[in-house]
Amino acid sequence: MTAENTSVAPPPAGLLANPRLFPTLSAAQIARMTARGRRRTTASREILVEPGSRPVPLFLVVSGGLQIVSATGPATTILNLDPGQFSGETNMITGRPALARTEVREPGELIELDREAVLAVIQTDAELGEILMRTFILRRVELISRGIGDAVLIGSTHCAGTLRAKEFLTRNGHPHTFIDLDREADAQELLDRFHVTPADVPVLICRGDLILRNPTNARIAECLGLNAGVEPTHLRDLVVVGAGPAGLAAAVYGASEGLDVLVLESDAPGGQAGTSSRIENYLGFPTGISGPDLTGRAQAQALKFGAQILIARRATQLACARQPYAVVTEDGSRVSARAIVIATGVQYRRLAIPNLAQFEGAGVYYAATAMEAQLCGGDEVIVVGGGNSAGQAAVFLAQTTRHVHVLVRSAGLADTMSRYLIRRIEDNPAITLHTQTEITALEGNGHLERVSWTDATGTAETRNIRHVFMMTGAVPHTEWLHGCVALDDKGFIKTGPDLSQEDLAAAGWPLSRAPYLLETSRPGVFAVGDARRGNIKRVASAVGEGSISIAFVHQLLSS
Ligand SMILES: Cc1cc2nc3c(=O)[nH]c(=O)nc-3n(C[C@H](O)[C@H](O)[C@H](O)COP(=O)(O)OP(=O)(O)OC[C@H]3O[C@@H](n4cnc5c(N)ncnc54)[C@H](O)[C@@H]3O)c2cc1C
């Protein structure tokens, strides 16, 4: 049974007018929702939910009507809800604060369901679960695309801090309005109103009144309540470190099989895959799927099954001397668990160019998503690297930029890139491949303005190029594990059959059994995905390893 027997009436006027955002439940569906909720009457103009409050209940309109009104700027009706329609968007699943006000438009009767009841409906009623999840996600997507939310970011696209904050909000799917100081004529007036100087940018106006000057990602997460409702101190069955495809898969399988799972993520869920413009080789998506779409769905799936995710919470140490192990995070707090899955992936190598850091986020990027493409406008760009991610970036950027130069150190792409991408690069007149070529200098005042490179013949060339995408191989995020689990000479985590007797002896392996397939040199600590030695660096292998690690976690917990 699918959601097809839900009728979709023309929506009443409101800012969001896509009829797919307003499913009207059938009488049988309303009866099943009613069984999980409580009936209540409403008074004229009654306010049911204030922006910033949590947990947010769901309201199903029986009679009368509701309206959802935006929290920032002049009061604007975002959604109008009539009988048979329900309130809510993804914060029903995440437990995060309300982005807008819910108020009574016309008094009548409602069914009110608290968050636990909504999660129970989603988990047990396949038909209603599909309708609710799809509607919540579509509403969030619509809010993001229209910038309707509780956050206003003011900054300059030439400023690394602005780009970092914008990327953090975007990758966490948090709707926000961006005011570009370089483009908006009245931006200075706005800064003056909040007593902010240009040196304070980026500035985040959080929930309409709180002003954050150049906030860290952790501060942004705190202010917007991205970690609201997560209680990090109790002993968990499983802590997963890293919310890329591998970590999210472990969270989905762990939580769906009844484990109490907490995921720690240093930045935003999605990992490298979340920065991919289009993944075309992941099973089941013949026309490809964007990385943010795939990992956004995985995140919603993990949360639906009850996993919790702490965002902007970097693991800095594994306290492994005694069990239960604990993961220490950068704010000094500890999270203990019976089992740990490490899924911290890799990050791109930084080229040895002395002033590289000066241009990171101001012309030098490590991801090629729609956000970076927008910053490039129609300019000429450079992609450095010969792997699949570089190939994808080149093909993607060629759609919107004037020309893409792909720079590789090797003599060709055949050994490092999939054949289908090589052909697309060869066939695309907007892409030029420069083999045996390396960047030698970056120049610019604040933002990157010129790039010099040298080719195999030693010929140097300098061009006025303002955007360079670095896709140059990877180093594992395992520096925080030193001394706890055996690593290979490149820092990748050794597991299962890769562990030698010497590794086990050095780690003091205490058991008579050998380590399980994905187990490290510490019993109960597993490693999956790109950070694991021998892993094939693909989304499918990350997802596969994350999923099967849970079978070993079960064996461990039941022994
Ligand atoms: C641009 C691009 C395009 C790609 N395209 C494809 C493709 O088309 N097909 C394909 O199969 N593969 C593709 N890949 C590769 C694929 O994305 C990776 O193999 C996959 O994402 C690895 O998943 P992972 O979960 O192991 O690690 P990652 O995706 O790297 O995720 C690791 C996560 O851990 C977090 N983390 C790191 N350190 C810590 C810490 N100390 N504490 C807490 N959290 C931490 C990171 O922030 C990150 O979110 C692409 C990669 C890139 C960069």
Q: Is 480 in the pocket of ligand 1 (CB under 6 A)?
A: yes
Question: Does residue 441 register a pLDDT over 80?
Answer: yes
pLDDT in tens, 25-56: 999 999 999 999 999 999 999 999 999 998 89
Who has greater pLDDT, 149 or 340?
Answer: 340
CA separation for the pair 64, 305 (Å, rounded):
33
In this structure, are residues 67 and 45 in contact, taking their beta carbons and an 8 Å threshold? no
Residue 379 in 3-state DSSP?
coil
Q: Is 477 in the pocket of ligand 1 (CB under 6 A)?
A: yes
Mutate to test the pocket of ligand 1, among 262, 267, 272 (most ligand atoms within 8 A of CB): 272
Question: Does residue 10 register a pLDDT over 70?
Answer: no
CA separation for the pair 533, 162 (Å, rounded):
35
Question: Does residue 6 register a pLDDT over 60?
Answer: no
pLDDT-above-90 percentage for the chain: 72
Q: What is the mean pLDDT of the chain?
A: 91
Listed residue (384, 407, 399, 455) closest to 430, CA to CA = 399
Q: What is the pLDDT of residue 5?
A: 45
Q: What is the pLDDT of residue 1?
A: 33
Question: Does residue 258 register a pLDDT over 60?
Answer: yes
Listed residue (90, 9, 523) closest to 309, CA to CA = 90
Q: How many angstroms is it from 301 CA to the middle of ligand 1?
A: 18
Q: Is 243 in the pocket of ligand 1 (CB under 6 A)?
A: yes
Q: What is the pLDDT of residue 14?
A: 56
Q: How many angstroms is it from 529 CA to the middle of ligand 1?
A: 8
Listed residue (451, 446, 357) closest to 156, CA to CA = 446
pLDDT level of residue 4 (50, 70, 90 thresholds): very low
CA separation for the pair 420, 440 (Å, rounded):
30
Structure tokens at 466: 């303002």
Q: What is the pLDDT of residue 17?
A: 62
CA separation for the pair 135, 291 (Å, rounded):
21
pLDDT in tens, 182-232: 887 777 777 787 788 878 889 999 987 788 999 999 999 999 999 998 988
Q: What is the pLDDT of residue 9?
A: 47
- Please report the atom of ligand 1 found closest to the CA of residue 272: 29
Question: Does residue 16 register a pLDDT over 70?
Answer: no
In this structure, are residues 455 and 433 in contact, taking their beta carbons and an 8 Å threshold? no
pLDDT level of residue 15 (50, 70, 90 thresholds): low
Q: Is 343 in the pocket of ligand 1 (CB under 6 A)?
A: yes
